Each structure stands twice: as C-alpha cells, then as structure tokens.
Amino acid sequence: MFEHIPAYPGDPILSLNEDFQLDPRPNKVNLSIGIYFDDAGKLPVMDAVRRAESALLESIGPRSYLPMAGLPLYRDTAQALVFGANSEARVAGRIATLQTIGGSGALKVGADFLKRYFPGSQIWISEPSWENHRVVFEGAGLTVNTYPYYDEQTGGLRFADMIETIGRLPEKSVVLLHACCHNPTGVDLSASQWAELVPVLQRRKLIAFVDMAYQGFGAGLEEDAACVRLLTEAGIPVIAANSFSKNFSLYGERVGALSVVCQSAEEAGRVLGQLMSTVRSNYSNPPTHGARLVANVLADASLRASWEAELAGMRERILAMRGTIHTGLAGRVDEVMRARYIAQRGMFTYTGLSESQVERLRSEYAVYVLRSGRMCVAGLNARNAEYVAASIAAVVSGA
C-alpha cells in the first residue's frame, strides 16, 4: 500500500540538528539551529520560568481543554508585548490575537486564513528567508514569490531593489517581513527604512505579515517590536506571528501567537472566529503548560523584571560572541567576510561560506552551520570560539 511513498529528503535545519545529536565527536559545535545556548554550552532554563513553574506545580489543578483561541491571560499579555500595552488598536479591541503552537503554528494558521479569505493573493518573502517560510505557505496552498533582500557582495541590504519590487505588487498581495534579527541573514531594516516602506505598502494596498520570532534579541523588547507598531499605527493591515521559543527558552513547549489588526472590534471578533475555526479543523485547541508559564511571567511584575534582565543578558552575550569571533578571524579571512559578524544582528550571521566549505566544516571539524552558510552565533562560547575561528580559517584558505 505504501510502496509509492518517497523518502523524506529531510529538513535543512531540523534534520541537521538531529545529525548533530548523533555525532559522537567530543569536539562538535552546534551552530546550526536557532537555539540560544549559554556560555557553558547549555540550554538555559530562565529563572523567571523556573519560579513560575514551581508556583504552577504547587497550584496545579484539573486540566480541561483550553478555548480554541487559547488561554485568555496568555492572549492578552502576548498581545501587549507585541503591540505595546497602550497601543490604540489594542485599547480599541481591534486586534484579534490567538494562542498558537509556536511561531510556526502562527504562520500556518495565518496562511490558512489568507488562502481562504484572499484566494487571489500571493505572498512575497525575502530572498533569502527562513527555509520553512516557503514550506508553510506553499503547504497552505499559497504561491510564494521573493523580493530582493540580501546583498551577498556587501553583507547588507538591497533596500532600493526591495522597495522597487514591493512597489509593483498587485493589490492585496501579502508581504512577509521579519520584525528583527532577520533569519537567516541577521540584516534588518533601519528605522528610516521601515518608515520608507510604510507608504509603499499603503499605496499598493498590501497586507504586511510580520514574523517576530526573536523579540528581545536585537536591540531590546520594545525596539524590536517598533516596526509592528509603526505599521499598525499607519493603518496597514498587519498580521503578526510571534514566538516565545527563543526569548523564554521554551522551544519544546510550542508557545506562539497570531494577531490580526482589524479596523474595528466587531471586525476583530469575526476574524478571531475564523482563526478559531482554522484551529479547530487542524488541532482543536492549543496546549496549556507553556502558555501558563509565559502568561504568569508576563503578568507578574517581579517575574517579568527578572525575565527581562535575563533576556538582556542573553542579548549581550550574543553581542560579545560576535566580537570574539570577529577578533578570532582577524587576518584569517577577508575583511568583507569578517565584518558580517559584527554588522549583522540577532542569533544569525550569514557567513558567506560556500556549500563545500560548510560541508568541510562539518565533516572534518565537527562544526555545524547550515548549508546556506547561516551560523547561529548564539551557539558560540568562550571555550569553542577559537576552535570555530580556526576551523573557518582552515576551510576558507583551503588548507
């Protein structure tokens, strides 16, 4: 019966991460998947999360189903974090927010919604973008196109080309934008570039689908969400997917949210209903545990302060590691390649390493980066940084 089923070629990120786990070499370094490791190379359990979890275990009660839209306190606190507690749209009740199974779940629920209610629309993602963006949107039946984004020559942004392409899109097209810490390049729009994009989206009557998986890892929690707020205040139809996998270090709990900014509270009610119907037809309702943890941290002043401080420390450690690898590569690779480590932001740097250099890094040095050359700098630490720099130098020089 199943003879015709082809083998799964694997996922460029998750399958590589699984290969890494099976690699027996003691000197192996995982710079592939977007996971933050601390300076000891360990996945942190954040103190606020640990405290919220202890309190939860003390008071744990019966576990019924959550509503299709998710835990009310979670939805509210997540929305406040993304849009700002005093956002006009939020105060007016114009934002439909529902709990999702991670950021990927938010993308999928949003994609299903678009396919159903904007059947003639296509989506444009950056070139390059997170590998799974194409997979999720194509999986929902949307046609996926790209707009110019990364400049391989400079390691920067092709902003003029990006604006030019977006300025020619048909009405009601969907533009997928990364709020901060662009995955995979680490190259973001500046505040003035976001401001320049706004009238283009308005003029062409486009839908902005903003993916924010790394809030807090760029410049700060508020700063990283500034573009979502700018687009919302400009009256652009915004769909925002956000994730707490990274900034709460709760990867396996699958905690995310999807928000759709509407024109009125009444419209938001209808949109939320249709998002709930998508959830019901896919997985019925979301799980409880991770959402309770996040909501309880965000709603408690002391836990929240602790979480924000720890997150700031993670952001600073990543910056420090960027500096360390940049120094470690001095005189070993050319300056254009080296500059990327400090020019790019967030968890990722697009190293400019070729596929064959990446392959040598893995097979000869047990250093894992993605085939595209994307490195997760959050996997570097004081013990492995020099080894990684020396390994990169060896493959770049062809030694």
Write the DSSP assignment of 188-222 as a string of letters: ---HHHHHHHHHHHHHHT-EEEEEES-TTSSS-HH
Query: Binding to ligand LMR by residue 181, rule CB under 6 A?
Result: no
246 is catalytic: yes
Structure tokens at 105: 């779940």
The values of phi and psi at residue 177, to 5°, are -125, 145
d(CA 123, CA 144): 5
Question: Within 10 A of 22 (CB to CB), how many other CB atoms are there?
Answer: 6
Structure tokens at 361: 């890094």
Query: Binding to ligand LMR by residue 212, rule CB under 6 A?
Result: no
Query: Binding to ligand LMR by residue 33, rule CB under 6 A?
Result: yes
For ligand LMR, give the closer residue by CB, 100 or 132. Answer: 132
Query: Binding to ligand LMR by residue 384, rule CB under 6 A?
Result: no
For ligand LMR, give the closer residue by CB, 159 or 217. Answer: 217
Catalytic residue among 108, 112, 130, 194: 130
Binding residues for ligand LMR restricted to 9-28, rule: CB under 6 A: 13
130 is catalytic: yes
CA nearest neighbour of 201 among 242, 245, 231, 246: 231
Q: What x-and-dash track marks residues 336-375 binding ligand LMR by CB under 6 A?
A: ----------------------------------------
Catalytic residue among 108, 188, 194, 211: 211
The residue within the footprint of ligand LMR, chosen from 34, 84, 128, 379 (CB under 6 A), is: 34
Q: Which secondary-structure segment (H or E) carries 294? A: helix 289-299
Q: Which residue has the closest beta carbon to ligand LMR?
A: 34
For ligand LMR, give the closer residue by CB, 12 or 148. Answer: 12
What pairing do the DSSP bridges indicate for beta strands 255-261 and 95-101?
antiparallel
Question: Least separation, in Å, of the C-beta of 212 and ligand LMR?
Answer: 12
Q: Which residues pair with 258 in a beta bridge?
A: 98, 241
For ligand LMR, give the closer residue by CB, 306 or 381. Answer: 381
CA 66 to chain CA centroid, Å, is: 25
307 is catalytic: no
For ligand LMR, give the closer residue by CB, 34 or 110. Answer: 34
Residues 30 and 42 sit within 8 Å (Cβ to Cβ): no
For ligand LMR, give the closer residue by CB, 201 or 257. Answer: 257
Which residues contact residue 297 at a Cβ distance below 8 angstroms, ignoring those fewer than 6 apart?
48, 49, 52, 248, 303, 304, 307
What number of H helices and E strands is found in the chain?
16, 13
Question: Least separation, in Å, of the C-beta of 132 and ligand LMR?
Answer: 6
With contacts defined by CB under 6 A, how many residues of the chain interact with ligand LMR? 6
Q: What x-and-dash track marks residues 103-142 binding ligand LMR by CB under 6 A?
A: ---------------------------x-x----------
Question: Least separation, in Å, of the C-beta of 371 and ligand LMR?
Answer: 13
CA nearest neighbour of 82 among 201, 208, 257: 257
Using CB under 6 A, list all residues that contact ligand LMR. 13, 33-34, 130, 132, 183
> Which of the residues are catalytic?
130, 211, 246
